[in-house]
Amino acid sequence: MQGDIRRKEYERKVREREGDTLTQQNGDADSRLSGDLGGRLRRLWQLSMKESKQNDKVSVHTTLTTEPHPHPVKEIITQKLLYCRVGIGYHLQILSNGSVGGVHEPTEYSLLRLFAMKRGVVGIRGVKSGLYLCMNEEGMSHGESKFSPDCLLKENLEENHYTTYSSLSHPGLYLALSHRGQLRRGNNVGRHQACTHFLPRKVPINLS
């Protein structure tokens, strides 16, 4: 009788030890699973951060490489003088204060950069002043530091081989100089008048 009691007590202790061992094994498995999951999450987070940094670099690179130019040049820029055949003949110039006019003997303010925007449409910028030639709705030309739609000019080759420049934003307004080389309003002149006729000329050596 006493032997049976001892045997049962021994079997109970064995079962308890086996249960503790199984519980510990399950706990270790859960711990490993939790650790594996935590590691995977950390790796995913690190990968996400790496991709985010790469995207930031791409974004910065894109911003730098797609930053708009002062004017959206479509073709090669050429430096020219624009000679108007009115009066004794004047070269167009854009002064640093934004005023536009003509001078008989070309100066450094007469050196202009002409750039094509599309077929028949150009922009003009003074090399010395750095200002763009613009024309407002009243037909007054002036220099601006920022390129705008008012700076778009239609370029038309006339029958006499001179060129006229008219506002693209304000149709019918022409760039023109008076017989004294002063700026004229573009709303009271026409394409067949000498005051609107310009001839692009090569830059002389002393201005290049």
Average pLDDT for residues 137-159, to the nearest whole number? 95
Integer Cα distance of 133 and 174 in angstroms: 12
Integer Cα distance of 153 and 176 in angstroms: 13
Per-residue confidence band for 205, with pLDDT thresholds at 50, 70 and 90: confident
Mean pLDDT score of the chain? 78
Can you say how many angstroms the Cα of residue 188 is from the centroid of all Cα atoms in its chain?
Answer: 36
Residues of the chain with pLDDT > 90, as a percent, come to: 59
The residue ranking higher by pLDDT, 14 or 82, is: 82
Per-residue confidence band for 87, with pLDDT thresholds at 50, 70 and 90: very high
pLDDT above 80 (res 116): yes
> What pLDDT is recorded for position 59?
37
Cβ atoms of residues 147 and 139 within 8 Å:
no
Per-residue confidence band for 1, with pLDDT thresholds at 50, 70 and 90: low
Give the 3-state secondary structure of residue 126: strand
Per-residue confidence band for 61, with pLDDT thresholds at 50, 70 and 90: very low
Q: 184 CB contacts (<8 Å, ≥6 apart)?
A: 176, 177, 178, 195
> What pLDDT is recorded for position 52?
47
> What pLDDT is recorded for position 135?
97
> What pLDDT is recorded for position 65?
34
Give pTM, 2 decimals.
0.64
Cβ atoms of residues 163 and 157 within 8 Å:
yes
pLDDT above 90 (res 45): no
Average pLDDT for residues 146-159, to the nearest whole number? 95
Residues of the chain with pLDDT > 70, as a percent, come to: 62
**Please, which residues bridge with residue 112 across strands?**
80, 126
For 105-170, strand residue ranges (E) read 112-118, 121-126, 132-135, 141-144, 153-157, 163-167
The residue ranking higher by pLDDT, 123 or 32, is: 123
- Least confident stretch, 49-53, 89-93, 135-139, 171-175: 49-53
pLDDT above 90 (res 62): no
> What pLDDT is recorded for position 22?
46
Q: 182 CB contacts (<8 Å, ≥6 apart)?
A: 101, 102
> What pLDDT is recorded for position 102?
97
